[in-house]
């Protein structure tokens, strides 16, 4: 199992992020929300993900960066749940949407539940 998080897997393109918010769908599992868009944009044939924490919930950049780091780490450890079950590339955006300061274990279990909910959602859509 490959647990790396390479540069190619990071969502940075403004075009892709714009498509994500205009045409994407979302799945939530408190306190996380996953916005996704199916299909590759451009030459990229890889699944990419971005992480966001609201400035409204955490005023200090240190706190936002800490929770972004936690969410990225939970994605890195559990991405096999997604990648093994996807048949096409996706663009994802993960949001941490609460003022609560959850522990790594709580965020990790919520991430797993969110990924399972997402997989059920795309299976229904097929």
pLDDT of residue 2: 83
Does some domain include residue 2?
Answer: no
Q: pTM for this structure? A: 0.92
- Burial code (b: 16+ CB inside 10 Å, e: under 16) for 61-79 equals eeebeebbebbbbbbebbb
- Report if residue 1 sits inside a domain: no
Q: Residue 44: which domain range? A: 7-125
Distance of CA 82 to the CA centre of its chain: 10
Domain count, the chain: 1
Report residues of the chain scoring pLDDT below 50.
Answer: none
What is the per-residue pLDDT for 42? 65
Question: Does residue 29 sit in helix, strand or coil?
Answer: strand
CATH code of the domain in which 21 resides: 3.30.230.10
């Amino acid at each position: 199992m490959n647990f790396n998080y390479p540069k190619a897997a990071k969502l940075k393109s403004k075009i892709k992020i714009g498509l994500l918010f205009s045409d994407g769908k979302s799945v939530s599992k408190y306190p996380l929300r996953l916005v996704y868009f199916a299909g590759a944009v451009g030459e990229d044939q890889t699944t990419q993900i971005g992480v966001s924490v609201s400035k409204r919930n955490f005023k200090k950049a240190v706190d936002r960066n800490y929770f972004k780091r936690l969410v990225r780490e939970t994605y890195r450890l559990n991405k096999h749940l997604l990648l093994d079950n996807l048949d096409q590339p996706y663009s994802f955006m993960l949001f941490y949407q609460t003022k609560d300061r959850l522990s790594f274990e709580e965020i990790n279990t919520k991430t797993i539940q969110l990924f399972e909910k997402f997989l059920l959602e795309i299976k229904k859509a097929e």
